[in-house]
Amino acid sequence: MKVSQLGASRCEAELRSVGIVLDIGGFGVRLISEVPEVLRELPRLYSDYEVLDPTESFVDFNVSINPPTFLRRWIRPQVQFLLDGFSPFKPLPREQAFALFEWGLNWCIANHSHRYLVIHAAVVERDGKAFVFPGMPGSGKSTLCAALVCRGWRLLSDEMAMVSLVDGLVRPVPRPISLKNASIDLVKALNETAVFSDTVRDTVKGAVGHMKAPTESVERSGECVRVHRIVFPKYRADASCDVRRLTAGETIMRLATNTFNYPVLGRLGFEALCDLGARSVGVSLEYACFDDAFRVVEALERES
């Protein structure tokens, strides 16, 4: 059963009580919340995700998004992210509750997935060719990812590339794409039928909104894929389009600086990085408009 098949009243009732267990890219995520922002946004952005039977399925992450104290329900309302009763973050204003769920789930996956090399990167795929876009916050990787998804590419992740240590394939974990500030309206203009969360303002990242993952991307979340190109994007409003091929060594060094669990994996991480850098062409891309980025990415896609 999918979230959309639960119905609004049942979805809310279960979120408020025992919680709902979602299959998110193969992870079992139980969410409990009574916060209106979560009750509103979850059915909107996770309508295509399977609801698992908690008695028959393994739950990887038990998550709660609720006020930290009774008073914080009413006085300067706040919410707290709990994982198995532990709070890894400070509480945030209540209007940021859904964004906190997304940010917290990123933290959970990145810190508990050491069967994979976990790279801070967006990942899209078309015709069996995955493109990895590593980058620090502000590089424009999520914006470019969302723009390509609006153009028909399959979403694997807007936040992390999970590369198997066994076969080097990327595991899809498609979730809502996080967009900030001017990027929200830019992407909305590309696809008028895309579903977006309400925009939350005055976060530490500025204005934040989330775009729903396409239904097909969610339904194909079990299909792993091999990396074709690694593109390091950098958006600059005044830039001319600049493309530069990287050596394997440059690609590996840049990947290392964007990898969450490289120190934890040690030798395995080093070998996985070297293998990925050796068999996937690395490219540096500086761009100022989507048309230039599309042209470059689609030309790289056509390469063997």
Name the region of 26 (left: φ>0; alpha: ψ -120 to 50; beta: rest): left
User: Where along the chain do its domains lie?
Assistant: 1-112, 118-304
Q: Which residues have CB under 8 Å from 60's CB, separation 6+?
A: 27, 28, 29, 108, 112
Q: What is the pLDDT along the chain (304 residues), one digit of tens a residue?
A: 999 999 889 999 999 999 999 999 999 999 999 999 999 999 999 999 999 998 888 999 999 999 998 666 777 889 999 999 999 999 999 999 999 999 999 999 999 999 999 999 999 999 999 999 998 888 889 999 999 999 999 999 999 999 999 999 999 999 999 999 999 999 999 999 999 999 999 999 999 999 999 999 999 999 999 999 999 999 988 878 999 999 999 999 999 999 999 989 999 999 999 999 999 999 999 999 999 999 999 999 999 8
The pTM score is 0.94
Name residue, tokens 């992407």. Answer: 187
Q: Which two tokens stand for residue 199?
A: 């925009």
Is residue 244 a contact partner of residue 286, using CB atoms and an 8 Å limit? no
